Structure 1
Amino acid sequence: MHDQLTLIWTKAQAHHLAHLNNHGDPRAERVSRINSPQSLAAHVRQLETDRSHCQAFGWTYKLITQLESFSSIISLFTQGNPGISALIWSPLAIIIELASREQLMLEFIGQTFSQFEQALPQFEGYLKEFGSRVLPQGLQNSLIVFYAEFIGHYQDAIKFLEGKKILIIAVGLGMCLITAPFSTERLLFFIPRASRFSRIAKQRSLNLLNLKKAIDDEITLFKFHIYQEHHRELKKCLEGHKDPTMAFQFSCTGIQHRKNPHFHFREEVFAELHTHLMSGRPRNEHRAAGLHGIGGVGKTQVALEFAHRYSNEYDAIFWINAETEAKLTESLYSYARMVENESPVVAEQKLAAIKNFRRFLNNPSSKGSPFRWLAIYDNVEDVRLFEKFWLEGPHGSLILTTRSPEIAHACGGRVIPIPLFTVEESLAFMLKMNTTNSNTLDKEELDVVREIADRTGHLPLALNSISAYARTTSSSYRSFIQHYRDFDTKLLFQGNKGKDSTYERSIRNTWTMTLTSIDPLARMLMETVALLDPDGIPTEIFECHDMNAKFEHNGPARTFPRLSDCLSDRFPDRLTFDNAVSALSGKGLISKSSGSERLSCHRMIKEAVLQSLKQEDLELHFDWIIFSLNGCFPHTDCKEVLETWDKCAMFHSQISMLLKMYKRFSNTLRPPVLLCEIIRRCAWYLRETGYFQAAKEILTEGFDILEQAVERRNHPGYFPQYMSRLTAELYSSYGSLEYEENLPGYGRAWFQKAEQHRMKLIEAEAPKFFDIQSMALVDGDLSLTYLADGLPDPSVGTYNMLLDTFDNQHLRCTWAANLSIALRAKGGLDESLAWCRKSSEWVTERHGERSLEMAIVHFNTACTLLLMNRGDEAMVALENSLRIRQEKSPMHRYLGFTQHKIGEVMKSREDFERAELFFRTAAKVLEKCESCQGAAARSKYSLLTILKEKDSQEVDSLAGEISMILESLKDTVDRNVWSEDYFDKFVLYCHR
């Protein structure tokens, strides 16, 4: 039979070489050297580089991976004849070479080859399952016919592509848009010829599917004969246990999977498993271990490695597929019938046979050595199956793998969680998979490996897929990531890319198939979670039951699409929500720690679910989250939000993730206008906490969303006036950030943009009080910028006018405080102090004596009193401000400014010990704020002046710290230039 196969392939080889050598084609020598998947992949990469205009090479890598097992079995049948094996690769190289002349042609050929994917049998699986056994004659015949049909498709494709006029068309298709008559003639020739080739290819695909069925039938029959062989071996083993080490040698083997050559040994997990199952306990005691973890974490691989590594310790090993009741029944029956009989039976008889098999294992042997066995229940999803199918016995050990911690506990033995790889394990695994010597790797390659590991969340399944793909294509990880920057959202979810058949299902199917069998509410929860930041999702988002809260704060009109669904209470009570969470955590899709109000989800699971979402579900879930978040996120109303910092921090990462989701699905989703309102509040929180850059980033994205909505006229439910008001508010928020950062202009340009929007609203229609008051607020902000620029006169006039015109209790507190600063800058200290008193009165009435607003009043009062040489009164005011801030905002930058000011007073009084203490504490507070590094340097410089007087050994190190800060701020000056005035430039005027 080998001779017949060799003859078929030799004739095919001659045919292809004739085409190669036709007319002295220079490709003949180059393509004929392609005799392996690695050389073909390298050839394709070169074509990609040479023909950068052609972007349709992706399907070739997938086909190369699938055909590797094809090549393996051909090599086995032909005793490794390299000339025959090379026929897999060189004809395919010709086809790709010819088709790659033009992207359209390559896509067309790729489509025809994609029809054959489902028709390819699991060649490598056969080799793995049958090992070195001689295949029966019928199976060999079926395989040969299959190969002949497949090579026929090769020949058809080359004949089609080498047609003289087809080559002209392939080269000239790019001229179609330029020379219409000439191109039309070509296309008229091309279309029927391509149609004929498509029909032939389709028929060959059908033939291959039928042949695959014939091969599968032969495989089934062959398996039955193998089971008969196993049965005879088992009978011998059981009769008196004359050879207790025979171990059912199914190549050990109830083990249905070969040993994984790339298994990454987890020492701690293995030590615990080995200790529990094999060490330090009586041999006649039944022992069980439950391995649990998310899909793709390597539970099955740990169990498989344990079975192979300790196979000599057991007389029999039973590998049981426990994913469904049907699979579990068939797995157990395949072993039970070896004891009972070999004849097929009905379902009831199968269950009876399994029952007898369980009874047999539970009864210790009365003669010879005890019969020791290991059963591995792989992928258990239903704890209710234990009662009927659980194996027990005094000399048995059992390993269970499951995604559910509850099922792992139910096995009654040791529960062992299988975690994700650590950073170190991820690096070691990937380097072992695709490099020969990690010591020779350069830093850039190692950095790329770290990036891949981080982006896949250190999930072994994903790392294995990437490593196998890189190994198959002979690529470095650096080259891989250059070609597939978006591997974590596209490549990994297109099916297996590497040859490694240890993981047979795609990453997407690892989780999404589970969703089809769970409760609809749980599925809805999972699909919603997929749109959020997976590293800590506040459960409050799903428990916001107040419809008015979701809809308030100038939300959309009732005409918003599907508004009732967006406001719906998906989980009306805690029990409903907990049940949905339990269903998902039981499948290993999400986790929720005991006592925690956060959900978490692995990023690969999130991505898999995202890619399975229907468009209409994506739109609804996205809008629902935004309405719910609108109800959850604290409303600032221009007040400091220190008391809600923790809550705001929880939601900030979710806002960032929603912005990423909108960018990704912007062709599907309408611009999320309401999200921009939430962004405004979040930016205020970030400003208060000193994360200015993060606030600017989300505000910039908010500008883009509103601009897109207006340009596309795609803001249903939101009137144009609302769009303009919200835009103005975002401009003002951005201006406030630049003001607090002490940047040139102090945000004036942004406040002026906000002013223009407000003016248009006032001029366009009868002025509304809300718009007039908002305009007043912008005027107050603009006055601050002039005051910061050292121009107090305009500010004094503006604040007097605002206080005379408006009676807003909150705003007048702020305006009075700012007026006192402006008067102090002009030298009107008595007037300034009077307005400080008035501000104190209004703040007490509005916010209370212990409010943060009062801390600002005390600080401003102290600054005025110091200029009036009333130091004792100033210290009282500063101490009052300090006490409030220490109590209510112990890490706010304003606390650092207050401590620094007290340090200056102490220094002026020559109380250097206390001054040193306050400068140190000020520096510690300020250096923790990313926007206050210059202010921290200022406090450290003041501390330095004191330490110099003490001749402290700390002087040089402290000066070095200051120099590093200045360098990071790109403000490198000689130390001789340092002075208090020099460092004051890093602090806004009102904090000096």
Structure 2
Amino acid sequence: MAGAGPAMSAPSGDPVAAAAGARSAAARDNAGIVQTGDRARAVQGQLVPLGQPADVSVPVPALVGLPKLPVKSFVGRDEELAKLGQLIAAGAGVVAQSQAVHGLGGVGKTELALQYAHTHRREYPLVWWVNADGPEAIESGLAELAYRLHPDARIVAQEPEAAGWAVGWLQAHPGWLLVLDNVERREDVDGLLAELADGHVLITTRRDVGWEQITDGCLRVEVLTPEAAVALLVRLSGQDDEATAAVLAGELGCLPLALQQAGAYLRQTRTPMGRYLRRLRADPGGLLGSVAAGDSARRAVAQVWSVTLEQIGGQSTVAVRLLRVLSCLAPDPVPRDVLAGLDLDPPVVDEGLGVLASYNMITLSEATATVHRLVQAVVADHVHHTTADSPDEPEATADRDDILSATIRALGAAIPQGDAGKQPATWPRWAALAPHIAAVELVCPEDVSGVDLALLLNECAIFEQSQGRYRNAFRQKRRALTILEAALGPDHPDVAITLDNLAGSLQYLGRPAEAEPLQRRALIITETALGPDHPSVSITLDNLAGSLRALGRAAEAEPLQRRALTIIEAALDPDHASVAIRLNNLALSLQYLGRPAEAEPLQRRALTIIEAALGPDHPSVAITLDNLGLSLRALGRAAEAEPLQRRALTVIEAALGADHPDVAITLDNLAGSLQYLGRPAEAEPLQRRALTIVEAALGPDHPSVAVRLNNLALSLQYLGRPAEAEPLQRRALTITEAALGADHPDVAITLDNLAISLQDLGRAAETEPLQRRALSITEAALGPDHPSVGIRLNNLAISLQYLGRPAEAEALQRRSLTITEAALGADHPDVAVRLNNLAGSLRALGRDAEAEPLQRRAREIRAALQIE
């Protein structure tokens, strides 16, 4: 955007919410620009289906994916290696840190697993290592396996789908070894272990918490024995002084990580062990004061690092700076080119990294640098706690702020160009950077780096959103907004962009009521700063309209969308994809307002534009096809809608994968057309699959789950199974009222459908109050002449018929018939339904002569439309 401040990404724009309507159809916006729902992504170009995992054969030669080579100086663990082999042979084994060893680790769990995997790699067709310290890391590691086995997966599959495909591959092929390193919580891998049966799983963890319940055994690793610790020190140092080595090993608690770093120092400097021991006890770096006394592992590493830092600082101040920067990042491999962005010459950075590696402070590969999380924690203790404990020491604060600012600038320089939401080719790079951006955000105070951090967070949030991690994206956008408002003032255009993007995350999370005020404020800022006819104003207007429609206020949305369309048509080519977005979103509001005849031509024009701009197999084409199908169905032309929706389903599955939320919407909308065509038995399995997808993707309490539940219940009603429908509708009602409020039109839909189930169950007396409430909500929200009011009146009248009150039913049915004819036309199939129901009341009142012509007209309408 123009103006002062950073070049912010424009609003990701046009988020989608499940749309309400007479039959709870869910519609999508945003054709051509943004795919919606959790784990959403956009793909351009030729689409390559992933295919079945079983069809991808075992790699030859074997695929071995280990993070690094094992260390050569590995002593004192022969017994553990033998036991580990026995555990893995049984199926799934765990290497856990004993509860007697405190702190972040350093006991050698990962190295033990690495030694085993490397030694036995030729016994397996596949050996794959996954950093498993959280669900997202596990998903990323499995996705990377899919990308290695099936290179096309990187192009067409986002991480959740690719990870699922990898699990499918492991299920279809036997004999592999999967290492899940550094598992933090048992529940993070519980489900995965239940899915994997024909290979071997090795878990390492610091948490010794009942692993025997879900694995074949647990090997608890202690620190080394004194004899093994002495042997390791002697071997690493090259000094045959076992007596001093024994004292030194005791000082370091026989912790393998501390012993390795001490040995690396002794070897590098050729310092006699006795002199090193005296310096170690002196704590020259002053680190022990920032480490809790009870954390033995942390203190042991702090002692070693204190001496090592003094030595490294004498050789290379750059090396010390690099280590401090690494302490601000995640304990994941850091791309070396990120460190090259620290305003230092690349050769100087390489030299500093070499010094750190020579002292065993980091693991260095050609592409990455990695610090053990325990070393990192000790360094971070010193950098951050020193400042916290001495807030009045400006030098300490300046040093911390300088390190954080430099780290943020380096990450900002390393992010890929382009919109991560639309360019899957950037995702591998983002996947490498995102953990480090999240880590530096956690330790960076509000007053450090300012706009640079906000820009970095905004860009990273777009990637998180593309991967369906909406809560992460929301948190990053909210922090970015706080920073930008403080740095640029509340009326800056970049603040408006961030407000609109934050509102988009709220919509994705099913919270449109919270999105609306942010979008209204963004609109005021954008209009004031850029003028009323700027394209950014069009985006914000349309996004605000989307929130209003999700809140059941489509009448307020329509004028905003018409203005948005006018602005974008004047600013851009009439065949631009952004014009199609505005057309499609306006059409959705017209559908919602019961005016599908006005929506249809807009959607056909949008479809023409999108197909020409993006090609016939783009997912945005599928969305437009599906929305056009909804209009056709609302016009009583469900037979025309079905083939469009089947084509939409084919396109969207190929583009986004079988488990994407947009696939669920398309499945459900196709099922709605099948219901309309009298084929509920075909609709039911589609709706069950849609419900499974959306619950997994969005959580059990999202409004979209309620839509799926309600529509599935409708099929069960049609199939004569109201007892199964009722609990689904009650759950849908609870979700919808909690998410959208008691007076939302979707609440009325669910109330009315629940009443029908109760009626079919012979409980007509319970239905009337539900239907009267539904009618009141619908009239208040949509107006007295909306077609949905006609539906509510008609259903209430049927209940009154059941209750033996046909005279009351007649009046409601006549009003319902008038509304339906005016809104949908005299030849709409819903008119035939109203005519037949009115005729039933007349016959109950003994007025058969009046009923007969109504029924005859209903038969003529249905015959003309070829409806049985």
| Length-normalised TM-score, structure 1 | 0.43
| Length-normalised TM-score, structure 2 | 0.48
Determine which structure has greater relative contact order: mean sequence separation of CA pairs < 8 Å that are 6+ residues apart, divided by chain length. Answer: 2
